[in-house]
Amino acid sequence: MIDVADLTEAQAAEELTKLADQITHHDLAYHQNDAPEISDADYDALKRRNLAIEERFPHLIRENSPSMRVGAPRAEQFSAVEHGVPMLSLDNAFSDEDALEFDARIRRFLRLDETPIAYTAEPKIDGLSASLRYEKGILVQGATRGDGRVGEDVTANLRTLKDIPHRLSGSGWPDVIEVRGEVYLGHAEFAALNAAAMEAGDRTYANPRNAAAGSLRQIDSTITAKRPLRFFAYAWGLVSEKFAETQWEALAKLKAWGFQTTPQSTCVQGADGLLAAYAVLERERPNLGYDIDGVVYKVDRLDWQQRLGFVSRAPRWGIARKFPAEQARTVLEAIDLQVGRTGAVTPVARLKPVTVGGVTVTNATLHNADEIARKDLHIGDTVVVQRAGDVIPQVVEAIPELRPAGAAPYEFPTHCPCPLQTPLARETTAGGAETVVRRCTGELACPFQRIEHLKHFVSRRAFDIEGLGEKQLQGFYDEGLIREPADIFTLAERDKVSLKKLKDRERAGETSVANLFAAIETRRTIPLDRFIYGLGIRHIGEQTALVMARGYGTAAEFLAAMDKVAAGDEEAVAELDAMDQIGDAVIQAAAAFFAEDHNRGMVQRLSDQLTVLDAEKPKTDTAVAGKTVVFTGALERMTRDEAKAQAEGLGAKVASSVSKKTDLVVAGPGAGSKLKTATELGIQVMTEDEWLAMVAG
Ligand code: IVH
């Protein structure tokens, strides 16, 4: 890479364009898809380079330069919420010197004498910020930060958090207040969520922060409700009246109104206090059970905060003192490819074991082929590995000076590492653009995908076969006894006539084999939605499987429809498309799956073994059957989840935004933009009580 000082103007212009594209791409991956493709450190390096070039060539600064943005624009599936007061960010400090300079700067600005300034020192929670609007003590709207000015309306999702009060307790709250804080996920909850996702063959999250963001930004709030997200309040935006003199007093009030505030926050005096608070939190960090990435210092007196004000996007009265990332050097011994259930291939670095921040690291994800090329990794390289908030360690860079002689750059394999060595294909988006994902094209002919597929099939939320965990399954697979789902259900029959009985095998006693056969028998009868989910078709998760099961009713209908979808039958495709929340990705995945003879054969052999229970068809004889209903504002007699379940039980569809397709809007206190849209579109609106009376009658 050319030194910024040596760039010609033309090179600088070209690089700024490239950097803007790259940064935008990574912003979207991070903020909208909650699936970062590069480490925070690499992202910061791109931003720093962009800034350095802009500093040397200020006239080349683009109007939409990445240096002018905070976060990313909201995703389209959520409606927009304009924050009453923008949600800005904090400048960073990285050393004791930076912290001392912060104190000195404030002193100069306020022209203070030597008397120490009081500051709060609060853990910097590593989650995503949210703003909660309360009117007369009632939660009326919740939003993500978005680009700082306009966020996403995630009210229904935020209401599912147990740390977020629907009504404020105590008294003395302003008539209108935007309470701000951090939504986060604890380490234990993150590990459990990823373990369940892994077992189910679903995507896993890189770290608790991405998992929190992904969980909060669900279209279906019942999914958010299942994720144990938590919330700490630490700030506020718009307020109708002043409610505290100091930050410390404000934190106490937030607590009294029913919020959680960080127990480790302290109020300290002067620069010495700032440094001491940092040292304490750095020591406490491993014991907290959730990620913090630094300490936030804030001038305690709010009248001083007011005087200090803001410079561009950050306040003068506060700063985030970041913890350094925990890093170590080790040797990259090999790069292996892992093949997932749907064939996506992930390169994994095998490292000489090294301790990083108290944890022994032996593997690190390398994300994808582009990432390896960008870091120019050679096998045998000494590399810097890092754990920075992220549970999964990352390879930051190679150290070329320490490269052994003769080490060649890593060449990404062109074929799957399975015995079949099927070619790897670079995945393209629906629009035809290449993505960074490479996929094994062998599908179920690839033994790696087969075993992952079987693991998914027996997982807890699919067929849930007790006694047939990953280890046992691998054993049966290796022996050739189970190669596809149907084999599980013929295992007992085959064992009867086998000369080498399962019960006589090493470690497998008679009772445990009998128990396994019994467990398999209980699953021979299975609800249609679990059957569909168990097939492990890409993009067909539990919720989609349920929607399809309800839509088709019986296994026969489902299978007949899938054959037609695979053949491109327009009517069948339209029928599937009309189902709630089903879009192109699902249709394409279903069509591709059922177009393959071996998949159809596999499904047929499986269904021959099973009794698939019909799904409960939605009721058709109620006042709301077939109607699309939107709940908005606060509900006072039932929770959102109850309301949704009740409406669905009566055959209605519940949507999260109002459109021409909406038949009915149930509006509670504080209903905002959705109510307005409903009125504009002439859609029927009723109160919660009117709704309850209607469905009761
Ligand atoms: S105060 C004007 N306090 O850090 C900004 N922020 O880089 C006021 N954060 O967007 C923010 N813990 O997501 C504040 N105790 C804390 C915090 C905190 C985490 C996050 C927040 C903010 C970012 C600033």
> Does ligand 1 have an atom closer than 6 angstroms to the CB of 234?
yes
Q: How far does the centroid of ligand 1 lie from the alpha carbon of residue 174, in Å? A: 22
Substitution site in 182, 322, 323 for ligand 1 pocket (most atoms within 8 Å of beta carbon): 182
581 plus 553 within the same structural domain: yes
User: What pLDDT is recorded for position 340?
Assistant: 85
Which token pair is 411? 């060449």
Q: What is the pLDDT of residues 251-273, one digit of tens each?
A: 999 999 999 999 999 999 999 99
For residue 126, which atom of ligand 1 is closest to its CA? 19
136-165 in b/e form (b: 16+ CB < 10 A) is ebbbbbbbbbbbbebbbbbbbbbbbbebbb
Residue 348 pairs in a beta bridge with 336, 365
User: What pLDDT is recorded for position 391?
Assistant: 59
184 plus 234 within the same structural domain: yes
Residue 585 pairs in a beta bridge with none
CATH code (residue 660): 3.40.50.10190
Substitution site in 129, 147, 260 for ligand 1 pocket (most atoms within 8 Å of beta carbon): 129
R_g (Cα) of the chain, nearest Å = 28
User: What pLDDT is recorded for position 535?
Assistant: 95
Amino acid found at 378: H
Q: How many domains does the chain divide into?
A: 5
> Does ligand 1 have an atom closer than 6 angstroms to the CB of 141?
no
Contacts of 92 (CB under 8 A, 6+ apart): 294, 319, 320, 321, 322
Q: How far does the centroid of ligand 1 lie from the alpha carbon of residue 114, in Å? A: 28
pLDDT (mean) for 531-537: 95
User: What pLDDT is recorded for position 75?
Assistant: 55
**Residues 88 and 305 sit within 8 Å (Cβ to Cβ):** no
Give 161-213 as a DSSP string: -TTS-SB--SS---SEEEEEEEEE--HHHHHHHHHHHHHHT----SSHHHHHH
For residue 235, which atom of ligand 1 is closest to its CA? 1
For residue 145, which atom of ligand 1 is closest to its CA? 10
Cα–Cα distance measured from residue 425 to residue 432, given in angstroms and rounded to the nearest whole number: 13
Residue 233 pairs in a beta bridge with 181
133 plus 239 within the same structural domain: yes
pLDDT (mean) for 87-91: 92
Helices of type H across 510-633: 510-522, 528-534, 542-552, 555-566, 570-577, 584-595, 597-609
555 plus 608 within the same structural domain: yes
In three-state secondary structure terms, 617 is coil
Q: How far does the centroid of ligand 1 lie from the alpha carbon of residue 125, in Å? A: 8
419 plus 313 within the same structural domain: no
Cα–Cα distance measured from residue 693 to residue 691, given in angstroms and rounded to the nearest whole number: 5
pLDDT (mean) for 125-154: 94
The more confidently predicted of residues 659 and 619 is 659
Give 349-410 as a DSSP string: EEEEEEEETTEEEEEEE--SHHHHHHHT-BTT-EEEEEESS-SS-EEEEE-GGGPPTTPPBP
Query: Between the CA of residue 590 and those of 170, 273, 438, 544, what are the distances in Å?
Result: 53, 61, 20, 11
553, 582, 613 - which closes a domain: 613
Choice among 234-238, 432-436, 528-532, 668-672 with the minimum mean pLDDT: 432-436
User: What pLDDT is recorded for position 104?
Assistant: 95
The more confidently predicted of residues 244 and 355 is 244
Contacts of 7 (CB under 8 A, 6+ apart): 15, 53, 56, 57
Q: How far does the centroid of ligand 1 lie from the alpha carbon of residue 234, in Å? A: 8
Cα–Cα distance measured from residue 665 to residue 344, given in angstroms and rounded to the nearest whole number: 42
Model confidence at 405: pLDDT above 70 = yes
User: What pLDDT is recorded for position 379?
Assistant: 95
Cα–Cα distance measured from residue 3 to residue 13, given in angstroms and rounded to the nearest whole number: 14
Cα–Cα distance measured from residue 169 to residue 172, given in angstroms and rounded to the nearest whole number: 9
Q: How far does the centroid of ligand 1 lie from the alpha carbon of residue 364, in Å? A: 29
Model confidence at 71: pLDDT above 70 = no
Pick from 438, 407, 443, 206: which is nearest to 337 by CA?
Answer: 438
Q: How far does the centroid of ligand 1 lie from the alpha carbon of residue 111, in Å? A: 26
> Does ligand 1 have an atom closer than 6 angstroms to the CB of 315?
yes
User: What pLDDT is recorded for position 431?
Assistant: 65
pLDDT (mean) for 264-288: 95
**Residues 350 and 362 sit within 8 Å (Cβ to Cβ):** yes
Does some domain include residue 376?
yes
pLDDT (mean) for 478-493: 94
Does some domain include residue 504?
no
> Does ligand 1 have an atom closer than 6 angstroms to the CB of 182?
yes
CATH code (residue 573): 1.10.150.20
Query: Between the CA of residue 216 and those of 152, 154, 222, 372, 585, what are the distances in Å?
Result: 11, 7, 11, 31, 22
Q: How many CA atoms lie within 13 A of 438 on its CB side?
A: 21
Q: How far does the centroid of ligand 1 lie from the alpha carbon of residue 397, in Å? A: 29
405, 429, 453 - which closes a domain: 429
User: What pLDDT is recorded for position 14?
Assistant: 87
329 plus 318 within the same structural domain: no
User: What pLDDT is recorded for position 404?
Assistant: 94
Query: Between the CA of residue 174 and those of 137, 144, 260, 369, what are the distances in Å?
Result: 8, 22, 18, 53
Give 439-450 as a DSSP string: EETTGGGSHHHH
CATH code (residue 19): 1.10.287.610
User: What pLDDT is recorded for position 650?
Assistant: 86
- Ligand 1 atom 10, closest CA: 89
Q: How far does the centroid of ligand 1 lie from the alpha carbon of residue 89, in Å? A: 6
Cα–Cα distance measured from residue 449 to residue 145, given in angstroms and rounded to the nearest whole number: 39
- Ligand 1 atom 13, closest CA: 129
For residue 265, which atom of ligand 1 is closest to its CA? 15
> Does ligand 1 have an atom closer than 6 angstroms to the CB of 81?
no
Amino acid found at 662: T
User: Quick one: which H or E segment has residue 302?
Assistant: helix 302-308
50 plus 194 within the same structural domain: no
Choice among 301-315, 427-441, 515-529 with the minimum mean pLDDT: 427-441
- Ligand 1 atom 16, closest CA: 124
For residue 123, which atom of ligand 1 is closest to its CA? 15
Q: How far does the centroid of ligand 1 lie from the alpha carbon of residue 528, in Å? A: 46
Catalytic residues: 124
> Which residue's entry shows tokens 């990285």?
94
Q: What is the pLDDT of residues 357-401, one digit of tens each?
A: 667 889 998 888 888 999 999 999 999 998 765 557 889 999 999
Q: How far does the centroid of ligand 1 lie from the alpha carbon of residue 395, in Å? A: 28
Pick from 175, 170, 164, 181: which is nearest to 135 by CA?
Answer: 175
Does some domain include residue 159?
yes
pLDDT (mean) for 173-182: 97
180 plus 87 within the same structural domain: yes
- Ligand 1 atom 18, closest CA: 124
Does some domain include residue 502?
no
Does some domain include residue 440?
no
- Ligand 1 atom 21, closest CA: 129
Does some domain include residue 142?
yes
Q: How confident is the model at residue 644 (pLDDT cuts 50, 70, 90)?
A: confident
In three-state secondary structure terms, 131 is strand
> Does ligand 1 have an atom closer than 6 angstroms to the CB of 83?
no
For residue 88, which atom of ligand 1 is closest to its CA? 2
Pick from 70, 75, 89, 263: which is nearest to 157 by CA?
Answer: 75
41 plus 110 within the same structural domain: no
CATH code (residue 110): 3.30.470.30
341 plus 318 within the same structural domain: no
The DSSP secondary-structure symbol of 415 reads: B
For residue 314, which atom of ligand 1 is closest to its CA? 2
- Ligand 1 atom 5, closest CA: 89
> Does ligand 1 have an atom closer than 6 angstroms to the CB of 129?
yes
396, 429, 462 - which closes a domain: 429
> Does ligand 1 have an atom closer than 6 angstroms to the CB of 308?
no
In three-state secondary structure terms, 314 is strand
Does some domain include residue 124?
yes
Contacts of 98 (CB under 8 A, 6+ apart): 319, 321
Does some domain include residue 636?
yes
The CB density around residue 231, as the number of other CB atoms within 10 Å, is 23
Q: How confident is the model at residue 299 (pLDDT cuts 50, 70, 90)?
A: very high
Q: How many CA atoms lie within 13 A of 385 on its CB side?
A: 29
> Which residue's entry shows tokens 């939660």?
139
Q: What is the pLDDT of residues 188-206, one digit of tens each?
A: 999 899 888 777 666 778 7
Mean pLDDT estimate for the chain: 89
> Which residue's entry shows tokens 């905070």?
70
Model confidence at 275: pLDDT above 70 = yes
User: What pLDDT is recorded for position 200?
Assistant: 67
Helices of type H across 227-299: 247-256, 270-284
> Does ligand 1 have an atom closer than 6 angstroms to the CB of 40?
no
CATH code (residue 337): 2.40.50.140
> Does ligand 1 have an atom closer than 6 angstroms to the CB of 235?
yes
User: Quick one: which H or E segment has residue 258?
Assistant: none
- Residue 531: domain span: 527-613
250 plus 346 within the same structural domain: no
The more confidently predicted of residues 476 and 582 is 476
162 plus 222 within the same structural domain: yes
